[in-house]
């Protein structure tokens, strides 16, 4: 009788060893534990039978059962540790590490879009320095010292005596390009500009412009209109009306300001367009003969047009943003939308 029981214990151990080998996760291991070590396990049943045996047999069976229990417990602990180690390393059900993918700043994106549109028309892209000299920012643009028009641009001077300043517009790049290359040329130049303006919903002391310049024989105002109309249609991806009004810049003659029908209210009149139905978006004109003379182009042979547009303004209209300051706050909630 006792021999049978001892055989049972050995069979039980063998079975437990074979089964635990196959176990790969904690759930199956728990089932194994209940089966071999739980309250209703064969082992427990055998323990409860001990009192039915002769005293001498009780000892033998008891020892055997205790050893078996110890072996099973050890098997359980070892396997548990092994599985936990693996699960910790490769638990595919753990949430993954969220890698935040950055995106371009809306201003950078809008500049890229503008560049792409002009690129299709064959315009090249050039950049100029943000720290400029008085000469390039004003004098060479037909705005000599004491010229009243200098007041249009409230300037940050770095070294006033030496005429070192932060450029107030991207127009100095026109001069740098024309000094270096001879016509014909077609370029745009995006970049930062600086003016002594206080921050408000539509002003910022740092902002971006895209300058455009095209010079060749026989360039007329109609070319300027054609190029800008194409640009506006591509940029806003809808039909907008274009309005040119006479204006003044020392470096263009004639000069104009271009407005478009308000893209917010479709020209009906709203607070963005000051109930006029139109929005002014850029300054432009035909390059002044004096500017050509300064860079050594013959104004009797060459003509050209130039324009300068505010990137923030275009971005605000395109995306319906009502305050320019959003662009500079580094607010992730704002930036992540683009
Ligand atoms: N530079 C002018 C400004 O910032 C815009 C402009 C550019 C006007 C080119 C005419 C031609 O106000």
Which two three-digit tokens encode residue 137?
Answer: 């920012």
Does the C-beta of 283 come closer than 6 Å to ligand 1?
yes
Residue 226: pLDDT band by 50, 70, 90 thresholds?
very high
- Is it the case that residue 89 has pLDDT exceeding 80? no
Does the C-beta of 141 come closer than 6 Å to ligand 1?
no
Contacts with 301 (C-beta within 8 Å, 6 or more apart), sequence order: 217
Mean pLDDT confidence for 26-32: 93
Does the C-beta of 194 come closer than 6 Å to ligand 1?
no
One domain, residues 26 and 110: no
CA distances from 266 to 43, 278, 289 (A): 85, 9, 38
Residue 84 resides in a domain: yes
pLDDT of residue 2: 81
Mean pLDDT confidence for 71-98: 86
Is beta strand 124-125 parallel, antiparallel or unpaired with respect to 185-194?
parallel
Mean pLDDT confidence for 307-324: 94
Does the C-beta of 285 come closer than 6 Å to ligand 1?
yes
- Residue located nearest, by CA, to atom 4 of ligand 1: 169
3-state secondary structure of 95: coil
Distance CA 255, CA 246 (A): 6
- Please identify, by atom number, the ligand 1 atom nearest to the C-alpha of residue 307: 9
- Please identify, by atom number, the ligand 1 atom nearest to the C-alpha of residue 255: 10
pLDDT of residue 126: 98
One domain, residues 115 and 66: no
- Residue located nearest, by CA, to atom 10 of ligand 1: 284
**In the listed set 57, 90, 123, which residue is the last one of a domain according to the structure?**
90
3-state secondary structure of 271: coil
Centroid of ligand 1 to alpha carbon of 313 (angstroms): 14
pLDDT of residue 86: 83
- Is it the case that residue 92 has pLDDT exceeding 80? no
3-state secondary structure of 302: coil
- Is it the case that residue 95 has pLDDT exceeding 90? no
pLDDT of residue 114: 98
Contacts with 70 (C-beta within 8 Å, 6 or more apart), sequence order: none
pLDDT of residue 87: 77
pLDDT of residue 141: 97
One domain, residues 161 and 302: yes
Centroid of ligand 1 to alpha carbon of 308 (angstroms): 4
Residue 239: pLDDT band by 50, 70, 90 thresholds?
confident
One domain, residues 163 and 216: yes
- 215: β partners: 185, 304
Residue 323 resides in a domain: yes
CATH number (domain holding residue 245): 3.30.930.10
Name the nearest CA neighbour of 250 among 183, 157, 153: 153
Centroid of ligand 1 to alpha carbon of 249 (angstroms): 7
- Is it the case that residue 97 has pLDDT exceeding 90? no
One domain, residues 184 and 288: yes
Give me the number of domains the chain comprises. Answer: 2
Mean pLDDT confidence for 280-290: 97
One domain, residues 122 and 237: yes
Residue 99 resides in a domain: no
One domain, residues 51 and 149: no
Ligand 1 probe mutation, 194, 306, 310, most atoms within 8 A of CB: 306
pLDDT digits (tens, 9 = 90+) for 110-157: 999 999 999 999 999 999 999 999 999 999 999 988 888 787 788 999
pLDDT of residue 52: 87
pLDDT of residue 98: 86
Among 20-24, 144-148, 217-221, name the most confident range. Answer: 217-221
Determine the length of the chain.
Answer: 338
Which two three-digit tokens encode residue 103?
Answer: 């995106």
Ligand 1 probe mutation, 249, 257, 259, 306, most atoms within 8 A of CB: 249
pLDDT of residue 158: 96
Report the mean per-residue pLDDT for the chain. Answer: 93
Distance CA 228, CA 265 (A): 21
Does the C-beta of 142 come closer than 6 Å to ligand 1?
no
Ligand 1 probe mutation, 188, 191, 308, most atoms within 8 A of CB: 308
Does the C-beta of 224 come closer than 6 Å to ligand 1?
no
One domain, residues 71 and 121: no
One domain, residues 157 and 237: yes
- Please identify, by atom number, the ligand 1 atom nearest to the C-alpha of residue 152: 12
Q: H helices of the chain, where? A: 2-21, 26-37, 42-49, 55-90, 106-120, 134-137, 172-180, 221-236, 289-295, 311-319, 332-335
pLDDT digits (tens, 9 = 90+) for 44-69: 888 888 888 888 888 888 899 999 99
3-state secondary structure of 6: helix
Residue 73 resides in a domain: yes
Does the C-beta of 284 come closer than 6 Å to ligand 1?
yes
pLDDT of residue 266: 87
pLDDT of residue 146: 87
The residue with tokens 């400029």 is: 132
Residue 292 resides in a domain: yes
Name the nearest CA neighbour of 280 among 265, 259, 308: 259
One domain, residues 235 and 322: yes
The residue with tokens 């599985």 is: 83
pLDDT of residue 70: 94
**In the listed set 90, 114, 149, which residue is the last one of a domain according to the structure?**
90
Among 143-157, 242-256, 263-277, name the most confident range. Answer: 242-256
Give yes or no for a contact between 178 and 302, defined as CB atoms under 8 angstroms apart: no
Which two three-digit tokens encode residue 168?
Answer: 């107030």
One domain, residues 85 and 228: no
One domain, residues 16 and 143: no
Residue 97 resides in a domain: no
Residue 95 resides in a domain: no
Residue 100 resides in a domain: no
Mean pLDDT confidence for 208-214: 98
**In the listed set 59, 90, 121, which residue is the last one of a domain according to the structure?**
90
Name the nearest CA neighbour of 170 among 146, 119, 196, 136: 136
The whole domain housing 257 covers: 106-335
């Amino acid at each position: 009788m006792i021999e049978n029981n001892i055989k049972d214990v050995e069979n039980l151990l063998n079975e437990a060893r074979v089964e635990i080998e196959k176990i790969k996760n904690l759930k199956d291991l728990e089932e194994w534990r209940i089966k071999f070590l739980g309250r209703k396990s064969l082992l427990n049943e055998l323990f409860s039978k001990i009192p039915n045996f002769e005293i001498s047999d009780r000892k033998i069976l008891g020892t055997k059962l205790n050893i078996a229990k110890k072996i099973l417990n050890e098997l359980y602990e070892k396997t548990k540790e092994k599985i936990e180690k693996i699960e910790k390393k490769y638990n595919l059900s753990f949430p993954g590490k969220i890698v935040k993918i950055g995106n371009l700043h809306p201003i950078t994106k809008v500049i890229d879009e503008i560049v792409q549109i002009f690129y299709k028309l064959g315009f090249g892209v050039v950049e100029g320095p943000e720290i400029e000299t008085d000469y390039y920012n004003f004098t060479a643009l037909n705005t000599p010292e004491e010229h009243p028009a200098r007041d249009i641009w409230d300037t940050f001077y770095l070294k006033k005596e030496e005429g070192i300043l932060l450029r107030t517009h991207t127009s100095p790049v026109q001069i740098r390009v024309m000094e270096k290359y001879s016509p014909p040329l077609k370029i745009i130049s995006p970049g930062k500009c600086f003016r002594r303006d206080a921050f408000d919903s539509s002003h910022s002391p740092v902002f971006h412009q895209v300058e455009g310049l095209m010079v060749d024989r026989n360039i007329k105002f109609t070319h300027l209109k054609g190029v800008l109309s194409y640009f506006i249609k591509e940029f806003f991806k809808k039909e907008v009306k274009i309005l040119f009004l006479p204006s003044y810049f020392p470096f263009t003659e004639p000069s104009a300001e271009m407005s478009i029908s308000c893209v917010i209210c479709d020209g009906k009149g709203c607070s963005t367009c000051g109930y006029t139905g139109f929005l002014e978006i850029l300054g432009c004109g035909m390059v002044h003969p004096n500017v050509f003379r300064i860079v050594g182009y013959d104004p009797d042979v060459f003509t050209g047009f130039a324009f300068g547009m505010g990137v923030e303004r275009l971005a605000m209209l395109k995306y319906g943003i009502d305050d320019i300051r959003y662009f500079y706050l580094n607010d992730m909630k704002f930036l992540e939308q683009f």
